[in-house]
Amino acid sequence: MRPQLQQPSRSLYLPIFTLCAIAPALTCQFAPPTHAQVIADGTFSTNVASSDNQNFVIDAGDRAGNNLFHSFDTFSIPTNGSAIFNNAIDIKHIVSRVTGINTSDIDGLIQANGTANLFLLNPNGILFGENASLDIGGSFLATTAESILFSDNVEFSTTDVTSASLLTISTPMRLQFAANPSPITVEGTGHNLTLDLNTSSPIRDNRPVGLQVPSGQTLAFIGGDILIEGGHLTANQGRIELGSVAQSGSVSLMPTSDGFTLDYAAIDNFGDLRFTQAASVEVSGEGSGNLHFQGRNISVLETSAIISNVLGADSGGEIRVRASESVDIIGIQTEDFPSAFFNQGEAVSTGNVGNLSIQTGRLQVVDGFVSNAISGAGNGGNLTIKANDITLIGNNVFQGNYNTGLLAQVFSSGTGQGGALSIDADNLYMQSSLISNATLAEGNAGNTVLQVDTLRLTESSQIFSGTIGQGNGGNISIDANEITITSTEKDAPFLAGIYTTSLEDGNAGNIDIQVNNRLQLTGAARISSLTRTAGTAGNIMLQAGEIEVNGAGATGGGGISDDGQLTSRITAFSETDFAAGKIDITVETLRVTNQGLISVSNLEGGDASDLSIRADQILLTDGGTLQAEVAAGNQGNILLMADSLLFLKRGGLISTNATNRATGGNIVIEAPVILGLNNSDIVANAVQGDGGNIAITTQALLGLQFRNFRTSESDITASSQFGLDGIVQIDTPDLEPNQGLVELPSELTDSSNQISTGCLVAADNSLTLSGRGGLPDAPDTLNSLAVWEDWRPLETEARTATAPRDIARTSFREATAMVIDVNGRVQFVASTTERLKPPMAANPLIRCGSRDNVWGQENE
């Protein structure tokens, strides 16, 4: 949802006017402007003359050295009127104050002689109409401060009127504000800028200049809220200082070669700066000037433009934006011109572009951009953003007249080097927007460095560094706690991701990402290094607590895609005879699922590089793939080291396949446990070349089997259709079988009396053994149905034997003999006499008793 813009009130003075009308006896400090006029207050020798009440000539005043002081009760200029300071040519500073109660309403010309700097103080407020203009030889400073303090501590005040004897020849040093400074407003009809589609630069030929100072001078507004409503401020190759103060305190003035710069070290509370209705501010020139904005909330809205372009051989100045709460750069979606900061070197320039920095609590860019770019021979400046929260929201990337985002680029005619792009934020959210550091020419692109807590890319958002020329692309380095990249929108023309690309002769840069917690790619999200022409692809290095590459949710039908399939991917890819980059991943847990892919590949004549992964767990499920493919060059290899587990399920795949005459790459895997289920494969196959080699070191290889070719089962293959098969080597480290086991007694029981010697001795008592454990009922070899169990303690323990006791038998008696009846049947009988007959021996060849005592018969 796009943010709702709050327009500034057009009735700033209505409550004050109403109060003064109701109670005319009250002294109204902030009164509405009266009929335009310039009236001296009589405290100095200031003389104001006008023949038509339209144009005013200001003479005399009180001079102290090269300073000239004027004091007015009212200072307002009617539409197309004028106020001309008729000062001596050698005057350096004209310092004027308004001691009355009226706002200065200026809709005409302010003019001074020579090169004097002009200061205008009115604590009641200052309003510049759309016809306001300046014709002075020095700097112009307008402020709603109450007084100016000089270097010798003399104070020129609008409230404490002093005599001329207190005036000073020293330089103005500080502006002193009351508790609630009044606003300064600049009105206008808006710019008529258009955008050069080749360089994303503003075409400035017919831009209104508005309030303008000479080249190399300062235009400064310091007050309460600073409102530029369709108005224009111009200081070619000079300086524009805009500061909004919301408390009592002082702002320091420091003289420079181009006028004055301001220091807000003594101010804690700031007001707002708002640029609306296609307002424009420009310091372009042979070498661009300086722009310093200071406030609480700084808003560049409704296609307003801030411009600092280098047009010649001199170097550019600095754009510095400081906002204690927020900076909003918000355009109009239906317009072809964005709300933007332009800090650029144009095609004719040879000077270097200056730096652009924004520091705030929250930065929001919607249908607009911040651009640090070069089209000439000079080098680009650095673009530095520091904020708690950054939000970039635009239309589709690479469509329309411009891209929303943060841009540092070398355009097609540029031969200089691009500047660095640095972002320091707690949270960075991107939606259909772009962070780009690219070159389209001979110059190299600069590097992109992000330090963020949370990074989220959605729709077609991209962090991009590439080359479409002879220059090399820059590197991308990201340090974050969590990164989420989601690309699931059907109509997104490009895929969300982080890219380094070479589309011409230059080499692509590297991608280095370190994530303390989780890196997640969903849908068709990408982290990619690509070359499509003569340059080499960059390397990708990832380090994270957890990485998930999840192809689920992709519904789109367009965008950058290696083979047309929309899945999440981490790829180092080459479509040329030049090598693809390598991928090196260090992670606790790696999940590649739902057709997700991590790949190094070259499908033309060049080499593929290596894919190396070091993890605690590597999980490949539902078509998740690790791949190194090559068509003609040297093979790509895969090296996997898992401290705990390598798990493949439902089509999980590790592949170094080679097409055409290329040799299959090698696969080296080290993991304690390797588990493959549901048609998951490890393959190093080839077509005409030789198959690659597979070397696996593990303690447990489960579910996967070596086969000569792939089947519907889970396979390990290294075959070639027409060449030689590769070698598969599976090593299981030697294990000591009894390592870690408790040593058992060598003699489990006394075996001397466990085997029958041929006769059983009859006795009056008997022992019956029963229960779960013990010895089997026969001395046969143990099998699965007769397992010996030993429940004894492993250590010897002292035992106390219990004396035997008689057990009375009342019902059953144990058989003591076996006889054969007359019918030849065998019967077991119990003896009825005290002397029991011996039973038949277990072995019929052994006879008990005497030789004649056969089959249990008593001796006669």
Per-residue pLDDT of 632-654, as tens digits, reads 666 689 999 999 999 999 999 99
In degrees rounded to 5, what are phi and psi of residue 72? -120, 145
- Tell whether 479 and 377 lie within a shared domain: no
pLDDT value of residue 852? 37
The per-residue pLDDT for range 109-150, each reduced to its tens digit, is 999 999 999 999 999 999 999 999 999 999 999 999 999 998
Cβ-defined contacts of 787-793 (< 8 Å, 24+): 788/748, 790/744, 790/748
Question: CB under 8 Å to 195, separation ≥6 — which residues?
Answer: 201, 202, 203, 336, 337, 338, 401, 402
Residue 562 counted as domain residue: yes
* Total residues found in the chain within this entry: 860
Rounded to whole angstroms, what are the CA distances from 476 to 1, 379, 473, 487, 589?
30, 19, 10, 20, 23
If you average pLDDT over every residue of the chain, what do you get?
82
CB contact at 8 A, 283 and 289: yes
- Tell whether 517 and 589 lie within a shared domain: yes
pLDDT value of residue 4? 40
Q: Is the dihedral of CA 753, 755, 761, 762 positive or negative?
A: positive
Q: Beta strand pairing status for 638-649 and 405-410?
A: unpaired
- Tell whether 266 and 378 lie within a shared domain: yes
The whole-angstrom separation of Cα 12 and Cα 17 is 10
pTM here is: 0.80
Please indicate whether residue 78 or residue 831 has the higher confidence score (pLDDT): 78
CB contact at 8 A, 582 and 611: yes
pLDDT value of residue 602? 81
The alpha carbon of residue 16 and the mean position of all alpha carbons in its chain are separated, in whole angstroms, by 48
The 10 Å Cβ neighbour count of residue 821 is 8
Per-residue pLDDT at 841 exceeds 70:
no
The residue out of 609, 632, 663 marking a domain boundary is 609
Locate 368 and state its tokens: 């607009």
- Tell whether 480 and 571 lie within a shared domain: yes
Please indicate whether residue 16 or residue 436 has the higher confidence score (pLDDT): 436
The per-residue pLDDT for range 415-429, each reduced to its tens digit, is 778 889 999 999 999
Per-residue pLDDT at 246 exceeds 90:
yes
CA angle 3/242/425 to nearest 5° reads 50
- Tell whether 391 and 264 lie within a shared domain: yes
pLDDT value of residue 396? 63
716, β-bridge pairs? 682, 706
pLDDT value of residue 2? 41
- Tell whether 297 and 401 lie within a shared domain: yes
The 10 Å Cβ neighbour count of residue 180 is 15
Return the residue matching tokens 């530095």: 384
Reported confidence tier of residue 266, pLDDT bands at 50, 70, 90: very high
- Tell whether 228 and 308 lie within a shared domain: yes
Helix (H, G, I), strand (E, B) or coil at 141: strand
pLDDT value of residue 744? 54
Helix (H, G, I), strand (E, B) or coil at 715: strand
The residue out of 609, 635, 651 marking a domain boundary is 609
pLDDT value of residue 554? 60
> Which secondary structure element, helix H or strand E, spans residue 22, and what is its range?
helix 14-22
- Tell whether 126 and 230 lie within a shared domain: no
Q: Is the dihedral of CA 765, 769, 774, 777 positive or negative?
A: positive
Residue 644 counted as domain residue: no
Percent over 90 (pLDDT), the chain: 55
CB contact at 8 A, 837 and 802: no
Q: Calculate Rg over the CA atoms of the chain.
A: 46
The whole-angstrom separation of Cα 652 and Cα 102 is 79
Per-residue pLDDT at 263 exceeds 70:
yes
pLDDT value of residue 368? 94
Per-residue pLDDT at 281 exceeds 80:
yes
Arithmetic mean of pLDDT, 243-257: 94
pLDDT value of residue 632? 66
pLDDT value of residue 644? 97
The per-residue pLDDT for range 319-336, each reduced to its tens digit, is 999 999 999 999 987 788
Domain tally for the chain? 4
The per-residue pLDDT for range 487-541, each reduced to its tens digit, is 987 666 689 999 998 887 778 899 999 999 999 999 999 999 988 777 778 899 9
Per-residue pLDDT at 859 exceeds 80:
no
The whole-angstrom separation of Cα 818 and Cα 841 is 9
The per-residue pLDDT for range 591-604, each reduced to its tens digit, is 999 999 999 988 76
The least confident of 210-214, 379-383, 613-617, 672-676 is 379-383
The least confident of 379-388, 703-712, 756-765, 837-846 is 837-846
- Tell whether 265 and 122 lie within a shared domain: no
Reported confidence tier of residue 617, pLDDT bands at 50, 70, 90: very high
Residue 759 counted as domain residue: no
Arithmetic mean of pLDDT, 265-294: 95
pLDDT value of residue 634? 67
Residue 571's nearest CA partner among 621, 522, 527, 634 is 527
Number of H helices, E strands in the chain: 1, 62
pLDDT value of residue 778? 45
SS3 content of the chain, % helix, strand, coil (to 5): 0, 45, 55
State the CATH number of the domain containing residue 107. Answer: 2.160.20.10
Look up the domain containing 268 and give its range. Answer: 183-429
The least confident of 352-356, 360-364, 712-716, 841-845 is 841-845
Residue 860 counted as domain residue: yes
Secondary structure (DSSP) of 482-532: EEEEEE--TT-SS--EEEEEESSSSPP--EEEEEEEEEEEEET-EEEEEE-
Reported confidence tier of residue 442, pLDDT bands at 50, 70, 90: confident
Please indicate whether residue 798 or residue 670 has the higher confidence score (pLDDT): 670
Residue 595 counted as domain residue: yes
Arithmetic mean of pLDDT, 233-253: 96
pLDDT value of residue 677? 96
Residue 494's nearest CA partner among 400, 365, 391 is 400
Percent over 70 (pLDDT), the chain: 77
Residue 206 counted as domain residue: yes
pLDDT value of residue 559? 42
The per-residue pLDDT for range 201-238, each reduced to its tens digit, is 898 888 999 999 999 999 999 999 999 999 999 999 99
- Tell whether 261 and 384 lie within a shared domain: yes
Q: Is the dihedral of CA 721, 575, 600, 663 positive or negative?
A: positive
Please indicate whether residue 806 or residue 469 has the higher confidence score (pLDDT): 469
Residue 23 counted as domain residue: no
The per-residue pLDDT for range 150-187, each reduced to its tens digit, is 888 888 999 988 655 567 778 889 999 999 999 999 99
- Tell whether 420 and 468 lie within a shared domain: no
- Tell whether 214 and 324 lie within a shared domain: yes
CB contact at 8 A, 611 and 677: no
Per-residue pLDDT at 843 exceeds 50:
no
pLDDT value of residue 168? 76
The residue out of 136, 168, 200 marking a domain boundary is 168
> Which secondary structure element, helix H or strand E, spans residue 72, and what is its range?
strand 67-75
The 10 Å Cβ neighbour count of residue 15 is 11
Reported confidence tier of residue 26, pLDDT bands at 50, 70, 90: very low
Residue 755 counted as domain residue: no
pLDDT value of residue 198? 81
Per-residue pLDDT at 32 exceeds 50:
no
